[in-house]
């Protein structure tokens, strides 16, 4: 599912806590991002149209909850990154991180554990 960077900020708020009203989402997202309340509501409408979020009317309020699972979305984004920039190969991506020294010892150990578990 194609979720923009701005939409992903709203999704992150919903993944942390749901259901939330549009006012609660505005409180959690608008100020930290420097957005107007209208921007947050527009992003919510887009996410509802994309079926990433469901909207339920409770009295006079709308409550929102994620339909898109965060782990599923992350796997899709990671797969797109690998396909687009590394020809579908994961090894060059890992090598790029290893060469940039941004890979911590803890990250390296975790990757090694994951690889050992796969064998």
Tens digits of per-residue pLDDT, 84-105?
999 999 888 888 877 777 778 8
Which residues, in sequence order, are CB contacts of 67 under 8 Å at separation 6+?
51, 52, 53, 54
Map out the domains of the chain as residue ranges: 5-66, 70-118
Q: How far apart are CA 111 and CA 9, in angstroms?
A: 27
Q: Hunting for tokens 């107007």 — which residue is that?
A: 36
pTM: 0.81
Q: What would the CATH number be for the domain defined by 5-66?
A: 1.10.10.10
Among 18, 36, 107, smallest CA distance to 27 is for 36
Q: How far apart are CA 95 and CA 98, in angstroms?
A: 5
pLDDT in tens, the chain (119 residues): 899 999 999 999 999 999 999 999 999 999 889 999 999 999 999 999 999 999 999 899 999 999 999 999 999 999 999 999 999 998 888 888 777 777 788 888 888 898 898 88
């Amino acid at each position: 599912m194609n979720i923009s960077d701005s939409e992903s900020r709203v999704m992150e708020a919903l993944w942390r806590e749901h259901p939330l009203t549009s006012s609660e989402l505005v409180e959690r997202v608008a100020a930290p991002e420097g957005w107007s309340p209208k921007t947050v509501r527009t992003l919510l409408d887009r996410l509802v149209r994309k079926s990433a979020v469901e909207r339920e009317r409770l009295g006079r309020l709308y409550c929102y909850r994620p339909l898109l699972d965060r782990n599923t979305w992350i796997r899709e984004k990671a797969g797109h990154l690998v396909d687009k920039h590394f020809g579908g190969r994961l090894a060059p991506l890992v090598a790029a991180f290893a060469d940039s020294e941004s890979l911590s010892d803890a990250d390296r150990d975790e990757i090694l554990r994951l690889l050992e578990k796969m064998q």
